[in-house]
Structure 1
Amino acid sequence: MRIKPHQQVFFSWFLLLFLFHGSQTQPSTTGYTCTPNQTTYPCQTYVFYRATAPNFLDLASIGDLFHVSRLMITQPSNISSPSSPLIPYQSLFVPITCSCNSVTATFGSLSAANLTYTIKGGDTFYLVSTRNFQNLTTYQSVEVFNPSSVPTRLKIGGEIVFPIFCKCPNETQAKTGVNYLVSYVFQPYDNLSLVASRFGVRTHDINSMNGNKIHPFDTIFIPVNKLPVLPQPKAPSAASPGNAEKKRAIVGLAIGLGICGVLLIFFFAVLLYRDVFSKKRDMERPEDNQKIQFNRPGMLMKGNEVNLMADVSDCLDKYRVFNIEELREATDCFNESCLIQGSVYKGSINGGTYAIKKMKWNACEELKILQKVNHGNLVKLEGFCIDPEDTTCYLVYEFIENGCLYSWLHQNNNGKLNWKTRLRIAVDVANGLQYIHEHTRPKVVHKDIKSGNILLDSNMRAKIANFGLAKSGCNAITMHIVGTQGYIAPEYVAEGVVSTKMDVFSFGVVLLELVSGREAIGEGGKLLWGSVNGVFDGSEERKVKKVKEFMDGGLEGGGCWMESVMNVMGIAIACVNKDPRRRPRMVDVVYALSMTHDLFFHVSEDGLSPPLFPR
């Protein structure tokens, strides 16, 4: 049975809409269009910039980056001296000259301040755009303005034009008193009311200029008639040598008196504590000094175990608390023969089979996240245990019979999965991710989505496992980068940005694994997601040919519907977009995959679908 023509037309339209989702509500990553003959171009305007360590904590380095003098920054930024040191995240107004640039016939004219930057070791278009210029431009725009430069072959010392996003007021705006459209990068912690208050304008003015849908790291334009006065840290006032000596003497005396006071307080506190403790000790029975009764029948704990149990006390009523002897008996004292993978053991307790995860660190954060999630596509936590001898923590999960997706795709131990099974796995994982992203408060970011953390039950239905790296809350910044190479989103590696879009990226890599049967990192360290550039370029025949070349050879001849593979490939490419703003939300991914799954099932429901493992 073939799919009906009207269904093909509908799905092609839907996929096109999905891949370019939001293009009308979000600014183009290549820049902002302008009219060359507009009389207000070129104009002088300003960008809002934040001093950052280690390279941009002085006016000289920031001035060199923007090709302006230190004096040109001090006055608009309310800084008293060009030699004044800066502190991290200190606010600055940096002047730029905004022009309307004729780029190419494809992109037309784009409004930008063209700044020349000399490439240094380790630089990429993405890193310089996000780190040095703080998202005031994008790597896509840099590629457009430098068509002869190959991003993967940048030469140290070479000069590249970085177009800083800007706009000049049009004649109507100028007549209403708008003198500048200040370029401002909207931060994850920003809200429009605070930004409007900072610039002394109305929220309505910002919305009228930029639209209603503003996302983190978008460059927006603030219409002002004059720059607001930035609050700056005050420089220490100069003092005569005599006054300085007096000041030092007073400070020294104050410190000495303070130390004496602290010592006296400490001495009296020790005496008081010893007196109270001795009275309490006399009142206690001897056996009470050896162990503490916890508020649960049969549980005796002491020392660090009490502290750990206190950390997870909220979980006691929801989960079963196992005894360490139960776990030792279930796993033959954690014998290697019971080891499933890593530090996870298979064990049988009272006729039930469990996966027992031995933790090397405090598991209270993972427990706190797991206790508020409950979904059929997430591995279920049954209980936990704390070893009283060494306070090692164990998490006891339901046992998933068919192991992880990685082994089915890459280790060939159990045969190949057919396309129908792979598609159903993709839908299951997408549903699990949508749940933790959209239906938990605060949102949960898994941070380690990969085929090794996707388990398959007896019916080959997928469940997401291992919340050891998960974070409750998103749009945070971290310097501690964790995860699995090949699945980590570029913005997380470069800037430490934690958001749900990093899970979307990792899921896109898993989709590519399902289509290709290849690992996330191939021979020579080649990234799987980096090999899909240009797959959907050109004619329909070329697209189909490229996807067939990318597909897992084991799918050929197994009744696989090519149109379904093409759709999933398109979704995967959208998910691994380098710009997190261009990636779809999981709710969109679930909808698109469900449509693909339903149409594929409709085609194969008359028995034309292949068996679980193609012959």
Structure 2
Amino acid sequence: MTTTDCSNSDASNSELGYSCNGLNTNCQAYLVFRSQSPYNTVASISSLLAADPSQVSAINSVSETATFDTDKLVIVPVLCSCSGQYYQANTSYVVQQDDNEFLIANNTYQGLSTCQAINNQTSDVTTNIYAGETLTIPLRCACPTKNQTDVGVKYLLSYLVTWGDFVSSISVRFSVDIGSTLNANELSEQNANINPFTTLLVPLQNPPSSSQTIAPPPPPSSPPPPSPTSSANKSSKKTWVFVVVGVLGGSSLLLVLGTIIFCIFFRKTKRKSDPKCASESFEAYEKPTASKLDQDSQDFLLRMSSIAQSLKVYKFEDLKSATDNFSPSCWIRESVFRGNFNGDFAAIKKMNGDVSKEISILNKINHSNLIRLSGVCFNDGDWYLVYEYAVNGSLSDWIYYNNSDGKILNWTQRMQIALDVATGLNYLHSFTNPPHVHKDIRSSAVLLDSDFRAKIANFALARSAEGQDGEFTLTRHIVGTKGYMAPEYLENGLISTKMDVYAFGVLMLEILTGKQAGALFGEGNMNVSAVLPNEEDGQEGLRNFLDPSMQGNYPLQLVIIVVRLIDSCLKKDPTARPAMDEIVTSLTRIFTSSLTFNMSNNISGFQM
């Protein structure tokens, strides 16, 4: 087994990773890790594999503070990218006493990497590694090929093979056709041998679930074979049951959709004192008259039947009741109110004009770092959008030095928020089809939940990023927030995902300095070099640059890395800026190191 033979450096074999032959150069992928002390919590496993703890906890249906039983299969979402000829998801590891490449690859990482791949990451021709040294560990992952995507495969999971595993048993666990698994790993029915401490790619049409980490029960003892007559009768009965269920289910679905379509299309001509229609499948709503809507909004209403199952359509009376008739005591900011629906809080935003594009985008996306739209309402010419409630308000309430409420975030909280925003943007850029640009990233568009986890909001300006040249689109309609707009957008109307990267750089600058973009750049053209400290400024220059409210509680070495990252995001040339997946990788490492700094300095929580 060459993957455990560290003296074998033959790069023609599979020790270095899976070939970069997929349809995309980067993708969402999944790893399987077996919980072993000290890597038996969401936090420790996420740190070891450079994963987002919130994603790990969500996909495994546990809290972020959870501890797993020994040998529990843990699903870990990662971003997989091409590096030369091979796919990999990079993480970093600090070498411990008595470690070697073999133990790191096969003990610590359980076969998710190989000693050959670890050695291949460094350009130094050395034979030893030393305690305290930081290594880059390439984790084994892959993206689906075109042949796989053509048959519905969207994700590949790197499964850690152990004793007693077979291709068939692994395929059954994840509800995958055995032939598909064999093909994904270039195996055949005649040669289907797999070995412990290796990985097996499992092709998936849907993300894996926590239920698939539970070992299937052993097969029951075989009952005596039924008589042919009995078997035929049972089969016949089952067939009739399926037919009846299918007919009833189909009839119910048609009835629901028919009711919705009837309410939308055919009630236009009826004039009754109560223009509300009700359906068992969704909340009743008040149908606006055609004179109150522009054509886009009418078109949106005609599409309502396709999204009614995922979005509630509220009655205006319900919104009035939830906000105490839009009382000032429920006002949050601008046209946003806090609503209480049977004990569950929501944010209700009043809007006018065409909101169909924003609703359409929000109805398609599903990510913990993007605000969730739960319902809509139309009344008297205005739209009301009902969102999940972020109890700690917007980031702008927290990061500006000397804010009126005395709210302060520590260094690690700031890095977590930056990582959350980057992760949400990366989802928009890389995992929506087509990719989308937010176009309005700013501190007031980032909301904080009860755990100070960030959620991107305000999708009114968001749009598809697909252009004729594959990267940029053009517009003459320049809209956005002053201080955050990228120079290529302001000067030439160029739209791409790199304009979000620029705005994110400005946002990180605000997070570090505690100053608003306008105060940083003034009224003239943005001069990044005049704002960011340079090497000659030394440690004192860095301290003067940072938000004084952190009172020196930050690791200067990490500050330098973050400043360099900001500088790369604010390059005038958009092609010179990093992609969001690169930013996520960098911030993941920074955040992991920040947690260590927090623990060593006994820093926790927030201050008010």
TM-score (norm 1): 0.50
Cα distance between partner residues in 1 of 2:599 and 2:524: 36
Cα distance between partner residues in 2 of 1:450 and 1:331: 27
Cα distance between partner residues in 2 of 1:350 and 1:573: 47
Cα distance between partner residues in 2 of 1:596 and 1:422: 11
* CA deviation profile, 1:404-433 (whole Å, cap 9, x unmatched): 111111224142111111111111111111
Answer yes or no: is 1:405 the counterpart of 2:399.
no
Aligned to 1:551: 546
| Paired residues of 2:437 and 2:500 also in contact (CA < 8 A) | yes
Aligned to 1:448: 440
Output the amino acid matched with 1:403. Answer: G
Aligned to 2:495: 498
* CA deviation profile, 1:391-410 (whole Å, cap 9, x unmatched): 31111001100011111112
Change (3 A) 1:603 1:308: closer
Q: Secondary structure at the match of 1:605?
A: helix
Q: Secondary structure at the match of 2:345?
A: strand
Aligned to 2:333: 341
| Paired residues of 2:285 and 2:313 also in contact (CA < 8 A) | no
Q: Secondary structure at the match of 2:364?
A: coil
* CA deviation profile, 1:184-243 (whole Å, cap 9, x unmatched): xxxxxxxxxxxxxxxxxxxxxxxxxxxxxxxxxxxxxxxxxxxxxxxxxxxxxxxxxxxx
Cα distance between partner residues in 2 of 1:594 and 1:574: 17
Q: CA deviation at 1:563?
A: 0.9
Answer yes or no: is 1:429 the counterpart of 2:421.
yes
| Paired residues of 1:520 and 1:527 also in contact (CA < 8 A) | no
Cα distance between partner residues in 1 of 2:314 and 2:382: 13
Cα distance between partner residues in 1 of 2:450 and 2:535: 42
The within-5 A match list for 1:442-521 is 442-474=434-466, 475-521=472-518
| Paired residues of 1:402 and 1:456 also in contact (CA < 8 A) | yes
The within-5 A match list for 1:91-490 is 288=270, 296=279, 298-299=284-285, 301=287, 303-304=289-290, 308-387=300-379, 390-410=380-400, 411-474=403-466, 475-490=472-487
Q: CA deviation at 1:526?
A: 4.7
Answer yes or no: is 1:611 the counterpart of 2:595.
no
Q: Secondary structure at the match of 1:337?
A: helix
Cα distance between partner residues in 1 of 2:606 and 2:285: 50
Q: Secondary structure at the match of 2:421?
A: helix
Aligned to 1:562: 556
Cα distance between partner residues in 1 of 2:372 and 2:593: 31
Output the amino acid matched with 1:503. Answer: D
| Paired residues of 1:446 and 1:503 also in contact (CA < 8 A) | yes
- The sequence identity of aligned pairs, in percent, is 37
Output the amino acid matched with 2:604. Answer: P
Output the amino acid matched with 2:432. Answer: T
Change (3 A) 1:429 1:343: same
Q: Secondary structure at the match of 1:417?
A: coil
Q: Which runs of 5+ in 2 are unaligned?
A: 1-83, 85-265, 467-471
* CA deviation profile, 1:504-529 (whole Å, cap 9, x unmatched): 00000011011111111018935796
| Paired residues of 1:521 and 1:527 also in contact (CA < 8 A) | no
Q: CA deviation at 1:336?
A: 2.9
The within-5 A match list for 1:35-54 is none
Q: CA deviation at 1:548?
A: 2.1
Output the amino acid matched with 2:386. Answer: V
Q: Which runs of 5+ in 1 are unaligned?
A: 1-23, 25-283
Change (3 A) 1:488 1:286: closer
Q: Secondary structure at the match of 1:484?
A: coil
Q: Secondary structure at the match of 1:610?
A: coil
Q: Secondary structure at the match of 1:434?
A: helix
Which of the pair has more CA radius of gyration?
1
Output the amino acid matched with 2:395. Answer: L
Change (3 A) 1:481 1:549: same
Cα distance between partner residues in 2 of 1:416 and 1:585: 30
| Paired residues of 2:285 and 2:377 also in contact (CA < 8 A) | no
Aligned to 2:588: 594
Cα distance between partner residues in 2 of 1:384 and 1:286: 20
Q: CA deviation at 1:547?
A: 2.2
Output the amino acid matched with 2:544. Answer: E
TM-score (norm 2): 0.50
Cα distance between partner residues in 2 of 1:594 and 1:320: 36
Q: Secondary structure at the match of 1:557?
A: coil
What CA RMSD, in Å, does the superposition of the two structures yield over aligned residues? 3.0
Q: CA deviation at 1:611?
A: 3.3
| Paired residues of 2:532 and 2:567 also in contact (CA < 8 A) | no
Aligned to 1:574: 568
